[in-house]
Amino acid sequence: MENEKNEGIKEFGSTRLSDGKSGSGIELFTIIGEIEGHEVLSGSTKATKYEHLLPKLAQAEEDENVEGILILLNTLGGDVEAGLAIAEMIASLSKPTVSLVLGGSHSIGGPLAVSADYSFIVPTGTMTIHPVRSTGMFIGVIQSYRNMEKTQDRIIRFIAEHSKITQERLTELMLDPTQLVKDVGTMLEGEEAVREGLIDAVGGVSDAFAKLRELIRIEKNNDMKSK
């Protein structure tokens, strides 16, 4: 069993936690490094592979022994489509979910952080919000720009729907030319992210566990009332 846990952490960044306080089965997921999409990153790059994470999330949803999910984030961002797919998957889970930003959750890490039922960020944690970018050469610049604009709108809409920040304020932060050197966007530290309504609260791992146990208890009570 211990070997299976270690293998799960190594290969998929996930493991089942034994919760002695409430008897709840909590599944831990980590989203670390760069979000890898359809292109394989170099072997020296820390990456979260969406084709690994999506099946594990589906498995947790169907596992009756899993009562809650804790997501730890420390990501630079990465593939936008892959990041949005993971965020939508987390947001659609029926099990209680809590996210905790450790270090940072930048770029497409924003939707991932707010996709849980409740979100935390450590005091020194940071989140960078900026417009959708792309590199490389394009055929049909206007069409490419419109596609990027549509993708950006999807990101703004998702974050606003899953947090307390408005679409208008989020757009302002994305396009702020004064925050980042030679770029537009905004970097928010822990307290700032909460004040802006992007994240629910400043806290650490103990706070995240406490909140998740609370959500699990509420879920159980609601299930009992409905029977």
| Single-letter amino acid, residue 186 | T
Token pair in block for residue 158: 């998702």
Residue by residue, DSSP assigns 138-186 as -SSHHHHHHHHHHHHHHHHHHHHHTSS--HHHHHHHHT-SSSSTTS--E
* H or E element in which residue 71 lies: strand 68-78
* Annotated catalytic residue 130: yes
Which residue is catalytic, options 106, 119, 130, 162? Answer: 130
The phi, psi pair for 7, rounded to 5°, reads -70, -40
Active site residue 107: yes
**Which residue of the set 107, 115, 119, 163 is catalytic?**
107
150 burial type by CB count under 10 A (0-12 exposed, 13-18 middle, 19+ buried): exposed
Pairing of the two strands 25-36 and 68-78: parallel
What stretches of the chain show up as alpha helix (H) in DSSP? 2-12, 50-62, 80-91, 109-114, 141-161, 167-174, 190-195, 205-226
> Which positions are catalytic?
107, 130
